[in-house]
Chain A
Amino acid sequence: MSAVYGPIRQIAAALAWILGIGLSAAIVALSRPDFGLAELVEAHLEESGVRHPVTAVLLNYRGYDTLLEIAVLLLAVLGILAFRPPGPASIPDAAPDSSPVLAALSRLIVPLIVLAAGYLLWAGAHRPGGAFQAGAVLAGGGVLLRLTGTIPSFESPNAWLRVSLVVGLGVFLAVAALPLFEGSRLLEYRTAEAAMVILVVESALTVSIAAILATAFIGAAPPRIRCMSPSRPAHSAEGERAGQS
């Protein structure tokens, strides 16, 4: 652990103890609510269009929070892309780590990942699952493909990638705004309509989340390969496949 100034450490420790004890006392002494939201969630579950209550909360009752949340995700990747130095990469990109074992395994695993993601997306309607889980799994597949060099790094996202990044927020905004044209309120959907809308939105969200998380990983790497330490010099793709691991 890093050494720190004595006073800072002592003040921080004192504050941490105060926080811990104070919060514990507060939790014990906290008043109990007279009613819970659980009954309300259950009562409106058929109207919400899905069978799993958490999905109903996430995508119907409190769908607006989820809308802002996908905006936060998009924002993170926009921020990451914002401060990359402009201009082309000066050294051709080389796969960070392309051992033959990893390459073979990824060929096996990535299709399974896609399958698993599809299942998670579909299952979200009636058991734990949904867009975020599916998107995260897909993004893991994307990272794997990057590690084996199948996906190259980029200096600026191309049109397809931009569309994938934005489609989640865009579709969600469009879907949210549609009821406004009919005189209803934002995101006002019930029962059968709600089920269909939720499926559409979740699919778009899955694509976007996967793209965002994978781009955050790929985009955060510097566009030039640097020599990180004397024992691991930068090497080209050909050198990689020559059998180093």
Chain B
Amino acid sequence: MTGISSAAPWIPLLILLPLMAGALSFLFGPRGHRSLLAATMTGIWFSLIRLILDFENAGLQHYPIGGWGAPLGIDLRADGLSLAMLGMTATVGSFISLYALGYFAGDENRGIRFWPLWWLLWGALNAVFLSADLFNLYVTLELLSLSAVGLVVLAGDRDSLAAGLRYLLAALAGSLAYLMGVALLYGAYGTLSLERMAGLFRPEPANTLAASLITVGLMLKTALFPLHFWLPPAHGSALAPVSALLSGLVIKASFYMLLRLWFEVFPSALTEVFTQGIGSLGAIAVFAGAWLAFHQEKLKMLIAWSTVTQVGYLFLTFPLAAASSTSAPAALSGGVYLAVSHAVAKAAVFLAAGAMLKVTDEDRIDRLEGVGRHLPISLFAFAMAGVSLMGLPPSGGFIAKWLLLNAALSSGQWWWAAVLVLGGLASAAYIFRVLRRCFLPPREYAAFHPVPLVMPLAALSLAGIALALGLAAAYPLRLLQTGAPLLLEASAPSTVAP
């Protein structure tokens, strides 16, 4: 795809700034971490806004690192999809950082260890969304996984340690499967650049095997059923801001890679068997995840299983987008919009739950009666974000599901429409289970620790953004569709397996 070759520093700065912040925060420890936060966040937002302006003016931005350019060097690239993901990361990341300032206020030990890991994770996320090189994506994925595992075990207790180990093993297995696929493709085509590979790829059996390995590895990292086993313990036992990061952002990186690879590099290998199959796994995840979420006793485990459900929705993008060229733009926009809305809403829900848990010391749902009396802001945030998770208007989740429903009906795949609608009901069940408990008459809580106001406010802001994504969807959607190579290439009709 064409685009201009940029020499503006915004693209590399988006990666350099968080990495530098990570190094500095480890070096200086607790001193100055607020100033570092302010400076780096300002830098990231400034670079992101300048990059979006450049993109509006000139379209797709290429950035050949070192001036070499693919295939010799590594290329970075910013298109509509990357920008949407970068914006999601910056928004959710900023509010989680503010929340973390409050969360770790009385817990200096953990706070010191949190910041370097979180900065490096942010850098890894930006690096994933900007990279256009297959092997570079492997290194960024490893950076992402290791920082995520480090954040999970930060909690320090044996549950989080075991959960973190399980997560680490799953992440490593996924990365190796991905790398084996890349090794095969490199052996076949002699290049690692996404663009060149897209031009050279042919759907031969050997290449399809490579693509399958890559897909299985990324499915494992995105926790699609049946490879989801590592997610609920990890997200459920981590500290609240960490769970928000993991469910909101980290999972989306591997999903982004699946979209990028399947719709840009090997769309010719898309077969009906594959797309319907992966959609079916998604549908199973939607219902099984909702069922299990409903039956959880602990609040954070419920929210973690809810993530498994929402990941299932994300994978409906594949059958909907591959079916016909008319449904593809709606399906892809819907899938990405769902990823972004879910990130915002799920982070809000985890942050609100974290505030509720920190205040009352209760993590069981059936002991949360009347928590709204003490924590009106957090509960309100939980409810608003829940609206987006259920897919009710006005919210980003509704817009996303609306787009996906459109795609399902316009391509004649009514069964996915049924999954979307019934899944919304199932999600409503577990959200309302929590809300019902919270609105019951209050009981006496054994403990009541006030929390810094920034915590519920951060949750509320994110929940508000989740709703705003429903009201002001025009601009983000336009951003997605301008120059997004996915949509230019996504007119591949479903093909029969060779």
Assess A/B contact in the complex (Cβ within 8 A): yes
A-side residues, CB < 8 A to B, are 22-23, 25-27, 29-37, 40-41, 44, 60-65, 68-69, 71-72, 74-76, 78-79, 81-83, 85-86, 162-163, 165-166, 169-170, 173, 176-177, 180, 183-189
Give me 10 other A-B pairs in contact (C-beta within 8 A), A30-B187, A71-B22, A75-B143 excluded: A23-B180, A26-B209, A33-B191, A36-B190, A37-B71, A72-B146, A79-B147, A83-B153, A162-B26, A187-B65
Cross-chain pairs A/B with CB under 8 angstroms, 7 sampled? A33-B190, A60-B68, A74-B23, A82-B117, A166-B23, A185-B66, A187-B66
Inter-chain contact B209/A23, CB cutoff 8 Å: yes
Shortest Cβ distance from residue B230 to the other chain A in the assembled complex, whole angstroms: 17
Is the CB of B19 closer than 8 A to any CB of chain A? yes
Contact A33 B12 (CB under 8 A): no
Interface residues in B171-218 (C-beta closer than 8 Å to A): 180, 184, 187-191, 202, 204-207, 209-210
Contact in complex: B184, A27 (CB < 8 Å): yes
Q: Which residues of B contact A (CB under 8 A)?
A: 7, 9, 12-13, 16, 19-20, 22-24, 26-27, 29, 63-68, 71-74, 109, 113, 116-117, 120, 123-124, 127, 135-136, 139-140, 142-143, 146-147, 149-150, 153-154, 156, 161, 180, 184, 187-191, 202, 204-207, 209-210
Q: A74-B23, A79-B117 are in contact. Are A65 and B74 (CB under 8 A)?
A: yes
Q: Are A177 and B19 in contact (CB under 8 A)?
A: no
Contact of A162 with B27 in the complex, beta carbons under 8 Å? yes
Q: Contact between A166 and B187 (Cβ–Cβ < 8 Å)?
A: no
Name the residue of chain A whose CB is nearest to the CB of B5: A185
| Contact status B146-A37, CB under 8 Å | no
Q: Give the distance to chain A from B257, nearest Cβ to Cβ, in Å.
A: 15
Contacts of A189 in B (CB 8 A): 66
Which residues of chain A are near B7, meaning CB under 8 Å?
A: 183-185
Chain A positions within 8 Å of B156 at CB level: 83, 85
Scoring B180, B184, B209 by chain A CB atoms within 10 A of each residue's CB, the highest score goes to B209
Give the residues in chain B near A35, CB-CB below 8 Å. Answer: 190
Are A169 and B23 closer than 8 Å at their CB atoms? yes
Q: In the complex the two chains form, what is the Cα distance from A41 to B72 in whole Å?
A: 7
Contacts known (A27-B184, A62-B74); A185 close to B206, Cβ less than 8 A:
no
Residue contact B153 to A64, C-beta cutoff 8 Å: no
Within 8 Å CB of B210, what residues of A?
Answer: 26
Q: Are the C-beta atoms of A31 and B188 separated by less than 8 Å? A: yes
Nearest-Cβ distance from residue B144 to partner chain A, whole angstroms: 10
A72 touching B68, Cβ below 8 Å: no
B272 to chain A, nearest CB (A): 21
Let me know if A30 and B206 touch, CB within 8 A. yes
Q: Across the interface, which residues of B come within 8 angstroms of A61, CB to CB?
A: 66, 68, 72-73
- Contact call A78/B139, Cβ cutoff below 8 A: no
The reply to whether B65 and A64 form a contact with Cβ atoms under 8 Å apart is: yes
User: Are A60 and B109 interface neighbours, CB within 8 A?
Assistant: no
Q: Check if B27 sits within 8 Å of A86, measured CB to CB.
A: no
- Whole-angstrom distance between the alpha carbons of A37 and B26 in the complex? 39
Q: Which residues of B contact A186 (CB under 8 A)?
A: 9, 12, 16, 63, 65-66
- Considering the chains assembled together, what is the distance between the CA atoms of A166 and B202 in angstroms? 44
B153 with A82: CB separation less than 8 A = yes
Tell which of B68, B123, B180 touches A71, judged by Cβ atoms closer than 8 Å: B123
Measured between alpha carbons, how far is A107 from B189 in the docked complex, in Å?
Answer: 52
Q: Bound state CA distance, A30 and B154, in angstroms? A: 44
B371–chain A nearest beta-carbon distance, Å: 30
> Which residues from A are CB-within-8-Å of B16?
173, 176-177, 186
Contact B184 A26 (CB under 8 A): yes
Q: How far is the CA of A162 from the CA of B161 in the complex (A)?
A: 25
CB pair A180 B68 closer than 8 Å: no
A9–chain B nearest beta-carbon distance, Å? 18
CA of A78 to CA of B184 in the docked complex: distance in angstroms?
Answer: 33
CA distance A72 to B19 in the complex (A): 11
From known contacts A63-B66, A83-B156, A85-B156, infer whether A40 and B72 are also in contact, taking CB-CB under 8 Å: yes
Enumerate the 9 nearest inter-chain pairs by beta-carbon distance, A residue then B residue, closest first. Answer: A33-B190, A79-B150, A26-B206, A186-B12, A82-B113, A86-B109, A180-B9, A188-B67, A187-B66
Bound-state CA distance A162–B189 (Å) is 43
Q: How far is the CA of A183 from the CA of B180 in the complex (A)?
A: 38
In the bound assembly, the distance between CA atoms of A184 and B73 in angstroms comes to: 15
Are the CB atoms of B143 and A166 closer together than 8 Å?
no
A63 to B72, CA, bound (A): 11
- Chain A residues with Cβ below 8 Å from B206 are 25-27, 29-31
Taking the nearest CB of chain A, how far is it from the CB of B336, in angstroms? 25
CA distance A169 to B116 in the complex (A): 13
Cβ–Cβ < 8 Å partners of B184 in chain A: 23, 26-27, 30
If A31-B204, A71-B143, A170-B20 touch, whether A79 touches B153 (CB-CB below 8 Å) is yes
Cβ contact within 8 Å between B19 and A71: yes
What is the bound-complex CA distance between A183 and B6, given in angstroms? 11
Instruction: Contact check, B188 vs A33: say whether CB atoms are below 8 A apart.
Output: yes
Bound Cα distance A62, B189 (Å) = 18
Knowing A62-B73, A75-B120, A173-B19, say if A29 contacts B205 (CB, 8 Å).
Answer: yes
Given the known interface contacts A69-B139, A85-B156, A180-B13, the answer about A64 and B74 at a Cβ–Cβ threshold of 8 Å is yes
Residues from chain A with Cβ under 8 Å of B191 in the complex: 33, 37
Q: In the assembled complex, how far is the CB of residue A81 from the closest CB belonging to chain B, in whole angstroms? A: 7
Separation of A114 and B287 alpha carbons in the complex (Å): 60
Give Cα distance in the complex from A76 to B180, angstroms: 23
A180–B187 Cα gap in the complex (Å)?
34
Give Cα A63 to B139, complex, Å: 12
Residues of B within 8 A of A32 (CB): 188
Residues of B within 8 A of A170 (CB): 20, 23-24, 27
* Residues B12 and A75 in contact, CB atoms below 8 Å apart: no
Given contacts A22-B209, A72-B146, A176-B16, contact A166 B66 (CB under 8 A): no
Cα separation A72 to B146 with both chains bound (whole Å): 8
Q: Are B189 and A33 in contact, CB atoms less than 8 angstroms apart?
A: yes
Q: A31-B202, A79-B146, A186-B12 are in contact. Are A65 and B66 (CB under 8 A)?
A: no
